[in-house]
Amino acid sequence: MAQPTYVLVPGAGGVAAYWALVRRELDGRGLPSIAVDLPGDDPVKGLPAYVDLIVEAAAGIDDVVLVAQSIGGFSGSWAADRLPTSRIVLLNAMIPLPGETAGEWWDATGSGEARRDHDIREGRDPDANFDLETYFLHDVPADALAALGDGEHGESDAIFAAPWGLDAWPDIPTTVLAGRSDRFFPYAFQQRVARERLGIEVTEVPGGHLAALSQPVEVTQAIVSAP
């Protein structure tokens, strides 16, 4: 039986290298994968363009497992509907509703309040300036961070403007992986959103928001074990 190809969609910044350590683990298991580079800080290309790029990258693949990180939940799930996708796997991902923009998602889900409450519980100042180290890099080893290369990897406002283009979540088996130590999308918040929007329970993985960098072995195992 042929193996599926794991099509890996990054989060904000669109850097395919985010998946480098997971791809190494997949390769060690003899499992094919591709990681998609997205425009990131391109001020013109928005969500529909991201979806087209994912579909183009996966052209010719007969069986896709679409794996999406963070804001990649918007583009990845939409692209999955246009590909021969056997499963969607979300990792610390934003789960959209029909007609919702990524810009609207934050207030609609209560993500900011959830993060603030989580900060208070863990003893962080909820009114401190937003800090990448605190919310994204706190558990990522330096050698893993080096996989991203040099330079800033921003995200333009364009990705937040266009509505998610499907009438309903794709009729494709879906697994939601949530990092137990995610400070940006706290674990309990992800549990609630997955229940409310997809009617499913999350699968816990170790690590924070960038778990594919901090816990690549465990994340890979969770991806390939998705039923």
- Which fold, 5-225? Rossmann fold (3.40.50)
With cut-offs at 50, 70 and 90, classify the pLDDT of residue 150.
Answer: low
pLDDT digits (tens, 9 = 90+) for 58-103: 999 999 999 999 999 999 999 999 999 999 999 999 999 999 999 9
d(CA 120, CA 89): 30
Q: What was the pLDDT predicted at 151?
A: 54
Q: Is the pLDDT of residue 1 over 70?
A: no
Q: Is the pLDDT of residue 159 over 80?
A: yes
3-state SS, one letter per residue, for 7-66: EEECCCCCCHHHHHHHHHHHHHCCCCEEECCCCCCCCCCCHHHHHHHHHHHCCCCCCEEE
31 vs 64, 82, 89, 123, CA distance in Å?
Answer: 12, 22, 16, 41
Q: Which residues pair with 66 in a beta bridge?
A: 7, 88
- Predicted TM-score (pTM) of the model is 0.95
Share of the chain above pLDDT 70, in %: 97
What does the domain layout of the chain look like in residue ranges? 5-225
